[in-house]
């Protein structure tokens, strides 16, 4: 039997890199253009899952017979979503908000199957930032690493110096909870190669 195609519905190089790290390379990458504006009263967790589902569905209509993986990452302080900063000033505000506090990273993952079904999961990771000095904030903003990052930071980069600890999935904070993603794919009938090594 021919294994159905596996398609990643994301333009994020971090998600593609994370999948490659565990030997799961998509047959195609098809970014999905969806409106990422939160709905009134929508919780960060529900927002992340809804966007993952919408991305998977948007690509599924163009990729019949494939397994489609959609994902979204939302950083939140309480119910407040901390989005991707559009400027250095917004990045400063994000870092100031996160400084010295615990926040949550909500990962939404969704798999659209060849049979037209969709399954999704929510993964939550708690992240604790150290109390940042003004110089630390300015140095991080000057690095430019905050660009296109939920919450204005990249834990896999320079921001690792700012994080005191995490509780939960590290890869979820980077952009894709790997264990849960594989479990969801397998649960929906996709069988990635069960081998390790190169």
Residue 91 sits in a domain whose CATH number is 3.90.950.10
* Residue 196 covered by a domain: no
* Residue 198 covered by a domain: no
Which among 16, 21, 109, 38 has a CA at the least distance from the CA of 69? 109
CB proximity list for 95: less than 8 A, separation 6 or greater? 132, 137, 140, 141, 146, 152, 153, 162
Extract the tokens encoding 170: 């590290």
Angle between helices 134-143 and 88-98 (to 10 degrees): 140
The region of weakest confidence among 69-73, 175-179, 192-196 is 192-196
Residue 198: is its pLDDT beyond 50? no
What pLDDT, in 10s, does the model give residues 143-171? 999 999 999 999 999 999 999 999 999 99
Stretch 39-64: mean pLDDT: 96
* Residue 1 covered by a domain: no
Phi/psi at 112 (5° precision): -95, 130
Stretch 109-130: mean pLDDT: 97
Q: Given this model, what pLDDT does residue 57 score?
A: 97
Residue 14: is its pLDDT beyond 70? yes
* Residue 193 covered by a domain: no
The H or E element that residue 41 is part of is none
* Residue 24 covered by a domain: yes
The residue with tokens 């930071």 is 153
Number of helices (H), then strands (E), belonging to the chain: the values are 6, 7
Angle between helices 178-187 and 13-21 (to 10 degrees): 80
State the pairing for strand pair 80-82/6-8: unpaired
Q: In the structure, what pLDDT confidence band is assigned to residue 13 with cuts at 50, 70 and 90? A: very high
Which residues carry out catalysis? 72
Stretch 4-23: mean pLDDT: 94
CB proximity list for 12: less than 8 A, separation 6 or greater? 71, 175
Extract the tokens encoding 86: 């559009």
* Residue 21 covered by a domain: yes
Structural domain boundaries enclosing 84? 6-187
Q: Give me the half-sphere count of Cα atoms (radius 13 Å) on the Cβ side of residue 118.
A: 23
* Residue 32 covered by a domain: yes
The residue with tokens 């948007």 is 58
Q: In the structure, what pLDDT confidence band is assigned to residue 197 with cuts at 50, 70 and 90? A: very low
Q: What is the mean pLDDT of the chain?
A: 94
pTM of the model: 0.94
Count structural domains, the chain.
1
CB proximity list for 134: less than 8 A, separation 6 or greater? none
* Residue 197 covered by a domain: no
């Amino acid at each position: 039997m021919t294994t159905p195609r596996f398609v990643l519905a994301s333009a994020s190089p971090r998600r593609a890199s994370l999948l490659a790290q565990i030997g799961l390379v998509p047959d195609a990458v098809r970014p999905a253009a969806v409106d990422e504006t939160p709905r009134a009263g929508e919780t960060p967790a529900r927002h992340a899952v809804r966007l993952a589902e919408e991305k998977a569905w948007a690509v599924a209509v163009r990729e019949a017979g494939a397994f489609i993986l959609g994902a979204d990452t939302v950083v939140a302080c309480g119910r407040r979503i901390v989005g991707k900063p559009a400027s250095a000033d917004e990045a400063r505000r994000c870092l100031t908000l996160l400084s010295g506090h615990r926040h949550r990273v909500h990962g939404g993952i969704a798999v659209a199957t060849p049979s037209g079904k969709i399954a999704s999961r929510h993964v939550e990771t708690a992240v604790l930032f150290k109390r940042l000095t003004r110089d630390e904030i300015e140095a991080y903003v000057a690095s430019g690493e905050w660009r296109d990052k939920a919450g204005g930071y990249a834990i896999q980069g320079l921001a690792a110096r700012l994080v005191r600890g995490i509780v939960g999935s590290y890869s979820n904070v980077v952009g894709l909870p790997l264990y849960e993603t594989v479990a969801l794919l397998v649960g929906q009938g996709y069988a990635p190669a069960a081998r390790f090594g190169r």
